[in-house]
Amino acid sequence: ADLATLKGEIANLATAAKDWTASPQRMKTLFELTDRMWIRGSRLYSYASNRHNVDLANPEWTAMKGEIEAVMVDGQSRLAFRNPDLLALGEEKFRQYLKAEPALEPWRFSVESVFRLAPHVLPPEQQKILSLTGLFSGALGDAAGALTDVDLPPVPVTLADGSRVELDQAAYQRLRSSPVAADRSLVMKSFWENHKKYENTLATLLNGEMKRQLFAARALNFPDCLTARLFPEDIPASVYHALIEAVHANLAPLHRYLKFKKELLGLDTFRYEDVYASTVPAVTRLTSYDDAWKQILSAQAPLGAEYRQVLERARQERWIDVYPNLGKESGAYSSGVFGAHPFIKLNFNGDYDAVSTMAHELGHAVHSHLANASQPFATSDYATFLAEIASTFNENLLMANLLKSDADDRYKMFVLGNYLERIRSTVYRQALFAEFELDMHRRVEEGGSLTPDWLNQHYLELTRLYYGHDQGVTRVDDYIQSEWSGIPHFYMGYYVFQYSTGLIASMALSEQVLHGGQADAERYLDVLRAGGNDYPLAILKKAGLDMTTAAPTAAALKRFDELVGELEKLAAKVAKNGGK
């Protein structure tokens, strides 16, 4: 019934669009209609996608998900008139409308953003055609994913214990962190050499995706893809470049960590494949779902009563699908729904990573809940740049609380090693990806193409730079050159750098809260409540964090270095106590 109503609302857009800028009241009517559409559409999409993700084999949910996606694209394409009409109205006239009709205030920020985008808004017919490219904009990434995750034949390998394994994507993810060094090397080498057989196809797909993004950027009158991606959120390109420069200037802490990891693993030579081995041998400690809640509630205590109440609602109102199940999608996520509550998918198995993941997804959920409760729909959706802050903030507090409260030094070593690995993979590794992505775009923007030879050579050079190959820190063998072919994020248009900036920002904010008072906690909660009522850098500045400088990245990596020192001390203490 809701789907039928939504289709009717979309069909009525043509009538509502007639002279919709002729008066503030008509403008308000159209805004209210479109908000109802998107609220209804987001609820339908949440229903279909969540049902699909817990029952992947059920064709009914797959069909429903595809149907609502198509309806939403149709609705978006029919709104192509909106931005050109606002530009024709003009900024001064809109200010007059705001004075005459204060009820337009919820849409002020989005309308002002349109005026800022004026040089990049096309005439209605051209905008409609560009919107329709959304029907196939993900096709190249989907094709790459189908090849690497489904169609690429698995390679058989024989492990050190004599067992034979068909090395597909899932087996690779599991076995690359094997405690047996020879197995790690065999698994990684076999997996990426298998990918290399398909490098021409994968390079062609990636080259096509870079050109698709360049088409969209130039069609909207942007000079390059980076500017096009960052402009709507008012993020200067200098933020992207500052991240890469700051990471380059702070590779020494990473190399210190990797050298100590080599020592902990008892290796003569530290290879790139050893990066995935657990820094500290896993401590067998399974935590019940009830105890995971106790740990998370204790860790988040510095954020006060309101935050705790939202967490308790999440449990009492069953926002979470907790355990693995037949046909359920792997991994975890949180999905906010305006007018309802967030939905969290977990695959909780009781290990530390499961507890940390639970804290992470609850961070997203509280962010969505507070934004939806504090903002009208028009400004409730927060920018991608802010999305990973609330989640990793919770992980930071969980780790800090366990280090302070747990009596088992071996477990604290394991937790700290786990956290350091998250910083390595989220800040350093994603910065490497961000730099590689920038160089791919530049090559295409300058008229070049992404050939396998160029991709292989450039990826290998960057990986060796970051991991200290020439300094003898990490041996990065030639076959690592093919790793670019299995990174799905390169099809997402400058997405990965936000993993780095998100963790960097959350580290700064969590340090403020942990070492400050209630005022610091409130400033952080205001970031969550703000939703999308301002540009992300402006929202963070109100909390005392300036991401336009290199200072937050330098501070985060200085903290990383300090935590490596803490791990070294803990290891020495455990060794002195006979391994306890």
| Secondary structure, 3-state, 214-231 | HHHHHHCCCCCHHHHHHH
Token pair for residue 233? 């959120």
Letter for the amino acid at 85?
A: D
CA angle in degrees (0–180, nearest 5) for 509-514-518 = 90
Rounded to whole angstroms, the Cα distance separating 346 from 155 reads 30
Report the C-alpha gap between 280 and 418 in whole angstroms: 8
- Of 209, 273, 361, 395, catalytic: 361
Kindly write down the DSSP assignment for every residue of 505-553, as one continuous string: HHHHHHHHHHHS-HHHHHHHHHHHHTTTSS-HHHHHHHTT--TTSSHHH
C-alpha–C-alpha distance, residues 579 and 280, integer Å: 12
**Cα 391 from chain centre:** 10
CA distance 115 to 28: 18
Strand segments, DSSP code E, in 378-496 are none
Candidates 336, 419, 468; CA nearest to 45 is 336
Contact 228, 517 (CB under 8 A): no
Burial tier of 145 (Cβ tally within 10 Å: 0-12, 13-18, 19+)? middle
Pairing mode, strands 164-167 and 320-321:
unpaired
In this structure, are residues 371 and 528 in contact, taking their beta carbons and an 8 Å threshold?
yes
SS3 271: strand
Query: From CA 150, how far away is CA 137, in angstroms rounded?
Result: 21
Q: In angstroms, rounded to a whole number, what is the distance separating the alpha carbons of residues 254 and 430?
A: 13
CA 322 to CA 356: how far, in whole Å? 14
Extract the tokens encoding 470: 């020439």
CB of 11 closer than 8 Å to CB of 35: no
Q: Tokens 């030094």 identify what position? A: 409
Indicate if 437 belongs to the active site.
no
User: Which residue carries 């995750």 as its tokens?
Assistant: 149
Structure-token pair, residue 474: 């990490």
The answer to whether 506 and 393 are in contact (CB under 8 A) is yes
Residues 6+ apart with CB under 8 A from 390: 363, 364, 366, 367, 506, 528
- CA 181, 186, 191, 193 torsion: positive or negative? positive
Q: Are 272 and 475 in contact (CB under 8 A)?
A: yes
Q: Is residue 19 packed enough to be buried (19+ CB in 10 Å), middle (13-18) or exposed (0-12)?
A: exposed
* Angle ∠(382,387,391) on CA atoms, nearest 5: 130
Residues with a known catalytic role: 361
